[in-house]
Amino acid sequence: MDQDIERVLVHERRIRDRVAELGARISRDYAGKDLTVVALLKGGVVFLADIIRSISIPMDLDFAWASSYGDRTTSSGNVVLKVVPDTNLRGRHVLLVDDILDTGRTLARVSAELTDRLGAAEVKTCVLLDKAARREVPVHADYVGFEVENVFVVGYGLDFDDRYRNLPYIGVLKPHLYSK
């Protein structure tokens, strides 16, 4: 798999250090509050595992699954919610965790579901990567691991056609592999 990577954008050690910083900040910000972490499947799972272990306060955990990519490299623009949390979120503080914020459509749609339909008191977002150059919806993340340029990234949960998620770093995929 390493041979498919054009260059490493964020090394494993930098990810580990930044996740620890984010976890400490989240722990301070949510101290004394009822926190529920909602992770977006599938890409957010690797980041989720590390971020929740770095949070030092009590929390609940649930999952949502939204998709707009399929086997494509760009969003279709149509966000489909496949799984919605079954935890009672009414009046709770929710931290929505995802791997990447790019167009903003997914975070906007899921955040709206969590507040409008499931009654969360507030929804804040935590993403490993923020790719602002691709933003189509005015959404910002409250907690960001790294800002990245507009390149196709894989690793640490991010995939192309469900591959490369298990790389321990964030890498730029060689264009000939996804431009067929």
pLDDT, mean of residues 9-26: 98
Q: What is the pTM of this model?
A: 0.90
Catalytic residue among 50, 99, 102, 130: 102
Of 9, 8, 10, give the one whose Cα is nearest residue 18: 10
Q: Is residue 179 part of a domain?
A: no
pLDDT in tens, 36-82: 999 998 888 999 999 999 999 999 999 998 876 555 555 556 777 77
Place of tokens 């009672």: 88
Q: Is residue 174 part of a domain?
A: no
Total number of domains in the chain: 1
Least confident of 2-11, 71-80, 139-148: 71-80
pLDDT of the residue at 127: 97
Here the CATH number for the domain that contains residue 63 is 3.40.50.2020
Q: Is residue 163 part of a domain?
A: no
Our answer to whether residue 102 is catalytic in this structure is: yes
Q: Which domain holds residue 56?
A: 12-151
Q: Is residue 136 part of a domain?
A: yes
Between strands 60-67 and 122-130, the pairing is unpaired
Q: Is residue 171 part of a domain?
A: no
Of 16, 166, 41, give the one whose Cα is nearest residue 98: 41
Q: In the predicted model, is pLDDT for residue 128 greater than 80?
A: yes
